[in-house]
Amino acid sequence: MFNPILTDEENYALTLRELYASKGCKFYRMSRFEEYDFYAGKKDFLSSGAILTFTDIDGRLMALRPDVTLSIIKHASPGKYYYYEKVYRPKASGSFREIPQCGIEFTAPGASDLEEVLRLAVMSLHSVADGRKCVLDVADAGLVAQYIPQDRKALILQYLSAKNIHGLHDINAPAEIIHLAELSGSFDGLTGLEEYGEEIRTDYSAVTTLSYYSGLVFKGYIEGIPEAVLSGGQYSVDGVSGVGFAVYLDAVTGGKSE
């Protein structure tokens, strides 16, 4: 039940935090700022290369945090964490926006952790859906990487994420990529998730980048909201493997009236 004193964002964040804590995740609080050099060397990992910077009083070039995963990898020991933070990313107009996120990161995950993360992703969608239908689209970015030609990588990923089958044919994308784009149905890549049925499905439009994802990637949707409200996947950065996701609370609260 929502607390009327809190905003919608705060209520959803509280619900998610309680969920993650109940599953044994530890809360992680991080600094809003990092030295710019930390992110500058890892721009391939970021969804955008643009970083909002400022000069500290001691002359150091600092950056407003564009990503949570990198901060956890840098500062935390291997483990299971959850967070409620804001990140700062560019808008199409050229300015920046503040994005409130609540999510989890499992660094150095064990054999069963991927299944647990996918389960928590669906439970997260249920927690913020207010009874609306939701679905988690899952795909194997590593499989796409095997077949995609480097000279047309960006264009093929653009058509793949848009499920533009005709466009993939027009640019003579590999037959294997077209086959993946046409796949649909329940996701059966892991056991133990059968209870969710059609709420977890195979959909290769979830693959929007190959910059850092090395295995499964996934995006979560809620009925009535035209954009993904959750995204995540498996990654490897600086020799650290991990899996996690973020729930975009601005997308959730912005879609309540739709």
| 245 confidence band (pLDDT: 50, 70, 90) | very high
**According to the model, what pLDDT value does residue 1 have?**
57
Residue 99, pLDDT score = 87
Please tell me the predicted confidence (pLDDT) of residue 93: 62
- Sorting pLDDT into bands at 50, 70 and 90, what band is 257? very low
pLDDT, one tens digit per residue, over 189-221 is 787 888 888 899 999 999 988 777 889 999 999
Predicted local distance difference test score (pLDDT) of residue 258 = 34
> pLDDT of 10-56, one tens digit each?
999 999 999 999 999 999 987 777 777 777 766 666 655 577 777 88
Q: What is the pLDDT of residue 43?
A: 61
pTM score, two decimals? 0.88
What pLDDT, on a 0 to 100 scale, did the predictor assign at position 52? Answer: 76
Span of 29-43, 72-86, 151-165, 188-202 with lowest mean pLDDT: 29-43
For CA atoms 71, 77, 79, 83, give the dihedral sign. negative
- pLDDT, one tens digit per residue, over 99-145 is 899 999 999 888 889 999 999 999 999 999 999 999 999 999 999 99
pLDDT given for residue 143 in this prediction: 92
Q: Domains along the chain?
A: 8-254 (3.30.930.10)
Nearest by Cα to 249 from 98, 24, 50: 98
The beta strands (E) that lie in the chain are given as: 26-27, 33-35, 53-55, 61-64, 80-90, 96-107, 134-140, 185-186, 200-202, 213-222, 230-237, 240-248
pLDDT beyond 90 at 67? no
Side by side, which strands form the sheet with 33-35?
Answer: 33-35, 61-64, 53-55
- Residues 104-116 have pLDDT tens digits of 999 988 888 999 9
Taking residues 61-68, report their average pLDDT. Answer: 80
Looking at residue 207, its pLDDT comes to: 92
